[in-house]
Structure 1
Amino acid sequence: MPQTASTPAFELLEAPTVLDIEASGFGRNSYPIEVGFVLPNGRTFCSLIRPQPHWTHWDEQAAHTHHIPRHLLTERGLPVEEVAARLNADLRGLTVYSDGWANDYSWLGALYDEAEMSPSFRLENLRMLLTEAEADQWHMVKAEVSSERGAQRHRASSDARLLQLTFQRLRSAAH
């Protein structure tokens, strides 16, 4: 990608594939409600997930964070099989990174268990890509990048892009 006046230099560095999941809440009975990712070339995917009949846990505090009403999931969410198949097709063979690895790993497992499929990619903790100095600066740099991007919907693909841009900004500062 050639650099243009509107393309910050930090976007040109090698970028990891980043995945983010929004969920019904936290803890044992929570489940994924939206999944999104961004590839190194900047292409994104995002999908609401139709809840399974036995997925009933709904945490109002989590809903205040993601702003996705439950009825929207039923109306516009894709079936778990379709979402899992799309993730497998787009992410096959890749290592994909998440900043909330423990939760996202569990929610991804719930998605694939329900779809009776296995992921074709590996999910890893984004933290493992960071040096100690980068990890120390992560939250500050993330806030800077977020501020520069302006108001964004709190959605899985937007969050994944923010994480990817933060990583690139940190990495560009190191070079």
Structure 2
Amino acid sequence: MICIDLEASGLARESYPIEIAWKCTETGAFDSFLINPESVPDWQYWDEFAEELHGIEPELLQQEGISAEQACIRLNRALKGREVISDALEYDGFWLRRLFNACDIQPGFHLVGLEAVLSAEERIQYQFIARSQFRRHRALQDVEDLILAIAAARSGVVS
């Protein structure tokens, strides 16, 4: 199972991805990186409330972020042909489309929601577990939490 999470510049239609992380539970392989929005001219939108949630400042993206094109290539190399699970399919799907469309590259993997790995009852348990997590949102930590919450929901253990 491979899980993914994205952090973004905000929740508006003009928002774009700024951080992506994924992890494979079978191998332990993972990746996490920031994206420099300066690599895409029309990525100007910034929501200060979103910044408060993830704690990523624009200056950090400029200093440590990779280009949008590098992000697409890196994701496609690592996830080629795989099914990748998101617990926020609508949002993560939107931001991945924004990323790949900005570079005119097709994603080489398929994004799916929790229904791919959890029954309806398990998804309810997952939602309960996920709501109990109060912390700063960063993509890699969110992926780790997603994997743990899926495992807990599958086992019927709700903490």
Q: Give the TM-score normalised by the residue count of structure 1.
A: 0.80
SS of the equivalent of 2:137 reads coil
Residue 47 of structure 1: aligned partner: 33
* Pair 1:101–1:143, CA change in 2 (3 A): closer
Contact 1:99 1:127 in 2 (8 A): no
Q: Structure 1: 5+ residue runs without aligned partners?
A: 1-15
Please tell me whether residue 17 in structure 1 is matched to residue 5 in structure 2. Answer: no
1:34 aligns with 19
**Alpha-carbon deviations, 1:68-116, whole Å to 9, x = none?**
0011111110011111111001100100011111111111011111222
The residue type equivalent to 1:26 in the other structure is L
Q: What is the SS of the residue equivalent to 2:105?
A: coil
Identity %: 36
Whose radius of gyration is greater, 1 or 2? Answer: 1
Q: Does 2:65 correspond to 1:73?
A: no
Q: Which amino acid aligns with 2:144?
A: R
1:165 aligns with 2:151: no
Q: Is the Cα–Cα contact under 8 Å of residues 122 and 156 in structure 2 kept in the other structure?
A: no
Q: Which runs of 5+ in 2 are unaligned?
A: none
Which residue of the partner structure matches residue 3 of structure 1?
A: none
Would you say 1:134 and 2:119 are equivalent positions? no
- Give the number of aligned pairs: 154
**Alignment match, 1:88:** 76
- SS state of the match for residue 156, structure 2? helix
Is 2:103 aligned against 1:115? Answer: yes
SS in structure 1 opposite 2:7? strand
Q: Secondary structure at the match of 1:45?
A: strand
Tell me the CA shift for residue 143 of structure 1: 5.9
